[in-house]
Chain A
Amino acid sequence: MAIFQHAYQGFHGQISSTLRQPWVIFRYALADVFSSKLFTAFFALCFIPPLVMMCMVYMNYNLEMLSLLNLPLDKLITVDANFFAHWMQIPQMWLVFALVMFVGPALISPDISSNALPLYLSRPINKTNYVFGKLLVLLILGSLITWIPAWLLILFHANLGDEPWLLNNLHIPLASVVSSLIWIICLSMLSLAVSAWVKWKALARLFFFGFVWLSSALGAAIENIYGGWKGSTVSFIDSLDVMVSGLYGVNSSSSMPSTASYLFFITVTVLATLLLARKIRAFEVNL
């Protein structure tokens, strides 16, 4: 029907499968995220640390440049699991935290506060697809600043070295992917659940920030009072450090076992999922 023909006609074209719906939600949400210049600038800045790391790795193999810059050879950084875990992975993980805090609450709370959920859920899309579409935004953006640059750096380092470094350290790329995905999924689900709960973007950001940092402060307080590693079981900071160190096979600052850190992330994710399942609905029933 041409737009000048102002008469109602049904649609007789092709209807796609419901599997495409999360992708539609992802596309629109991603476009909304990048409509903010502030976020675009922040996201670009997230690639600077991996670039600096790449330069450091490059300098490690370039004696001419080292002598040109007059840098002592004995002060060079050793590129090993510790380098990837503590110089690359953990700083990027905290950039993910900032990214999720900025993006996560803006994904769901506007839909809930402007009553858009009945419009989504009256279409061939269910709660799981809706949340998955939103989660995909955080998962992909988070991956782009954590394990994907880490893999590029690993490949770059492996390419520059003579010995079969990569074959001897295959656990490093694996640790990078696993630790990044656990962290991204846990934080993303938490931010989505908090934003579904409070329904207000700014407040959701504050709550999310509070959850992560207050839990860590609480963990530190418990450790100071009771000693041991029990306080670390409620701390995001300690759990992240223990998980990353455990996967990379390097020393951690906490004595908590790796299993406890996995348990912590699983518990947070499950609780967030349950809260989301309760809050993502077409309408609230007032009894």
Chain B
Amino acid sequence: MESDRLNQAEKIDEVGSEVASHEKNRDIAEKNTDKLAFPLNGNGNTDSVAEPAVFELKNLSVNFGRPILDKLTANVRGNCIGLLGPNGAGKTTLLNTLLGFNQPSSGRASIFGYDVSSQSDRVRHMVGYMPERDAFITGMTGIRFVRLMGELSGLSPSDALERAHEVFFYVGLGEARYRKIDSYSLGMKQLVKLAQAIVHGPKLLFLDEPTNGLDPPARTRMLQLIREIRDAGETKIIMASHLLKDVEECCDEALVLKQGKIAIYCNLEEERRSDRKFLLMHVRGDKDRFVSALRSLGCDVALTNRRRLKVILAQQIEIRDVYMAAEQLQVQIRSLDYKRDSLEDIFLRAMEDA
């Protein structure tokens, strides 16, 4: 045991931050590749699994004068998929491309095995879309608006009217359905956007920042509705958001984008189940060398600010090893706290690694 520790101490002295970071990147890349690379048959369906992927990206690039999405490859499954990333990462562009609003400059994208460019008609029969910005037809009552959207999705006038009433009651706006949308509050408008997106019972629901501008009770209500739709099992959900908490509460998979590339794709449930030892530390001293030392021990480290570190300990590493590394490098650990790994940590790591 003592000799092991000495070996580890030697490793710390030999630390090369570049090497450690390369190793870590490779590990993450391998982990992601395992998830992303599914063999495709002619229909875009996977051979290995009967149910087709919710969406597949094969070297998908989108350019608007400059590259917005850069050769994305992913095979995404799950009931509710969170699309995360900082502003300008390409979340909305990816949603728009999947909806067929953008034409890919190269590569392809498919939804449930149907190509979004060449089979857009079939794709649009299956999807519902709740845009980020306000999107209504002025002067219409809520019920008439949602009924129109139902009819445009292919429902007969009577079915569309019935469904419009149902979804209005479902989202909690039953009493306001005969009012003009212009008179609705922001929270009600968000709910109407959700109502029009689900009126035709889509197989796949795109939600672009669904809790934007909502107060806490309205946000809670919106997230509850999203979870209910997910749990009903008839509709898969893709939810783009920059609010990690929202994604964490609703989604079982997360695809993190950064600068038009996939930074990480992970199953949140697996991440939660992995139950990794997770430390939150405040340190003083040569932080960079300390981080390199921890990484050389096999720990994942995310820097949240100048002195705060989040460390996921490797299997064989104890807290004592962390203290030893700090002692050797004369770094003070001012505070140390156990915490459960959150989506925020996954996101921060992805932002650092990508």
Spell out A's residues near B (CB within 8 Å).
1, 3-4, 6-18, 20-21, 24-25, 28, 32, 110-111, 113-116, 118-125, 281-283, 285, 287
Contacts and interface: CB of A to CB of B under 8 A. Distances in A.
Given A24-B151, A116-B136, A282-B96, A13 B159 contact: yes
Nearest to B66: A287
Nearest to A120: B152
B232 A8 contact: yes
A9 B232 CA distance: 7
Interface string B219-263: 000000100110010110000000000000000000000000000
Size band of the B side of the interface?
35 or more
Contacts of A6: 169-170, 172
A119 to B, nearest CB: 5
B163 interface: yes
B269 interface: no
A125 B152 contact: yes
B144 to A, nearest CB: 8
A15 B202 CA distance: 12
B118 to A, nearest CB: 14
A115 B166 contact: no
Contact of B152 (A25, A113, A118): A25
A7 B224 CA distance: 12
Nearest to A16: B154
25 contacts: A4-B169, A6-B169, A7-B228, A8-B228, A8-B234, A9-B232, A10-B235, A11-B199, A12-B201, A13-B156, A13-B159, A14-B159, A15-B125, A16-B156, A17-B154, A18-B121, A21-B152, A28-B144, A32-B139, A115-B133, A115-B135, A119-B129, A124-B125, A281-B101, A287-B66
Given A8-B235, A28-B144, A111-B137, 16 more contacts: A3-B169, A3-B174, A4-B169, A7-B228, A9-B232, A10-B235, A17-B154, A28-B148, A110-B137, A110-B139, A114-B137, A116-B135, A122-B101, A122-B128, A125-B152, A283-B101
Nearest to A9: B232
B155 A118 contact: no
B196 to A, nearest CB: 6
Interface of B: 64-66, 96, 99, 101, 121, 124-125, 127-129, 131, 133-139, 144, 148-149, 151-156, 159, 163, 165-166, 169-170, 172, 174, 196, 198-203, 206, 225, 228-229, 232, 234-235
B234 A10 contact: yes
Nearest to A2: B166
B196 A119 contact: yes
Nearest to B68: A285
A9 B124 CA distance: 19
B170 A122 contact: no
A116 B154 CA distance: 18
Given A114-B135, A115-B134, A119-B135, A7 B170 contact: yes
| 3 closest Cβ pairs, A-B complex | A11-B201, A10-B201, A10-B234
A24 B152 contact: yes
Nearest to A113: B138
Contacts of A124: 121, 124-125, 152-154
A121 B121 CA distance: 10
Contacts of B165: 3
Given A1-B166, A3-B165, A7-B232, A122 B134 contact: no
